[in-house]
Amino acid sequence: MPLIPTPNQLQQDASLLDNLILQTAEATHHLAATIARCNAEFWGLPDERLAAILNADVERTQAVFAANSALGSAVNASLDEIDSPALSCRAPVTPGREISLGLDGKFTITPHPIETTIEP
């Protein structure tokens, strides 16, 4: 009997499967991080530019929001199934700013709070 046993085919295949799952999980985690970065970049635009983009085609904007939410939810569900602390980034599933759709059919963006410093 050898000191280092040679894995049988089933063990080799199980190891291969584990490696493939890990590669897929790492790619999914990268996708979540990319979605989060792009989301932050978009929602970091000045309010007037955001409003112009959102209101240029409201129907398209709503479709993009729905698609982004569905993608983020699927990515996050996959990462949640893997349940690894090393894969902690999650994709956003909601807009990165507080917005509302008015009765006029236009989006309104809630401005960022104004930071004030009170001198003692």
Residue 107: C-alpha distances to residues 13, 29, 74, 113 (Å) = 53, 31, 26, 18
pLDDT, tens digit, for every residue of 74-89?
999 999 999 999 999 9
DSSP 8-state assignment for residue 97: S
Beta strands, E only, 1-120: 99-101, 107-109
Checking if the pLDDT of 115 tops 80, the result is no
Q: What pLDDT is recorded for position 1? A: 63
Domain boundary assignment for the chain: 9-109
Element housing 69 (H / E) = helix 58-82
- Cα 90 to Cα 72: distance, rounded to the nearest angstrom: 8
pTM of the model: 0.80
Q: At 46, which amino acid appears?
A: P
Checking if the pLDDT of 15 tops 90, the result is no
What is the average pLDDT across 81-109?
95
Residue 44: C-alpha distances to residues 15, 70, 109 (Å) = 43, 22, 12
What is the average pLDDT across 30-45?
96
Average pLDDT, the chain: 91
Give the pLDDT band (50/70/90) at residue 116: low
Give the pLDDT band (50/70/90) at residue 94: very high
